[in-house]
Amino acid sequence: MLAHTLLFYFFSTVAVFSSLMVILSRNTVYSVFFLILVFVSISILFIMIGAEFLGMVMLIVYVGAVAVLFLFVVMMLNVAEKKNQKIVNKGLINNISVGSIVGLIIFFELLVVIGGWKYKGDFVSLSSISINDELTNTHALGNVLYTDYIHLFQIAGMILLVAMIGAITLTFKKRENIKKQNYFDQIGRDKESAVSLVEVESGKGVKIDD
């Protein structure tokens, strides 16, 4: 038990420290790396409480896909490290006021959710979910997600799909005047259509259309 407790405190300290570093570090690329560290340590915490499936999915989805895209965007935008610029500048008051309003709203929401958890009705009744010790984590989750909450689960999936298609349609641009390879034409070429014998008069070239 002692080792478990020590490991818990170690990983939670790492998680808290690196989540602070996400917003404190000047270099945006470092911020993303610290964000990855947060994700990894949280997935380790998940595994330590026995939620192995959640921990692994956390690693696959957040670290393997989401954070890669973050890193991509940050590197591509090339937000240079601002060494000389001090934190104190004109927009400080503005930033602090907006930030604290958002922070207060989130804090209030968390308070409502966690406080309301105690008085929740039969909307989500934990007692109806039977937890079988012999089932693995994945089985148990699947049993709940695909039976009682199948509609909510499907709706969540649909929302994600719509968001994805929306992002694609917003950024999709039909580009004109570009050369494109038609793969079926390319594969369907034969000797007769591709090679032709041309008599070339000396001193004159041949015009080949491109």
Minimum distance from residue 76 beta carbon to another protein (Å):
8
Distances (CA, A) of 26 to 70, 95, 96, 103: 16, 16, 17, 21
Picking from 17, 8, 2, 3, the residue whose alpha carbon sits closest to that of residue 49 is 8
Tokens describing residue 14: 């790492």
Closer residue to another protein in complex, CB, 84/94: 84
Contact between 22 and another protein per CB under 8 A: no
Picking from 13, 22, 6, the residue whose alpha carbon sits closest to that of residue 41 is 13
Minimum distance from residue 132 beta carbon to another protein (Å):
14
3-state secondary structure of 82: coil
Q: Which stretch binds another protein (CB under 8 A): 10-18, 28-36, 88-96, 168-176?
A: 28-36
Angle at 165 between CA 163 and CA 169, to 5 degrees: 115
Contact between 157 and another protein per CB under 8 A: no
Q: Transcribe 28-46 into DSSP letters.
A: HHHHHHHHHHHHHHHHHHH
Contact between 172 and another protein per CB under 8 A: no
Picking from 151, 126, 145, 136, the residue whose alpha carbon sits closest to that of residue 56 is 136
Contact between 138 and another protein per CB under 8 A: yes
Contact between 144 and another protein per CB under 8 A: no
Contacting residue, 52, 141, 148, 153, with another protein by CB under 8 A: 52
Binders of another protein among residues 76 to 135 (CB under 8 A) are none
Phi first, then psi: give them for residue 173, nearest 5 degrees: -130, 125
Closer residue to another protein in complex, CB, 72/107: 72
Contacting residue, 22, 56, 140, 144, with another protein by CB under 8 A: 56
Binding site for another protein (CB under 8 A): 3, 29, 33, 36, 52-53, 56-57, 59-60, 63-65, 68, 71-72, 75, 136-138, 181, 183
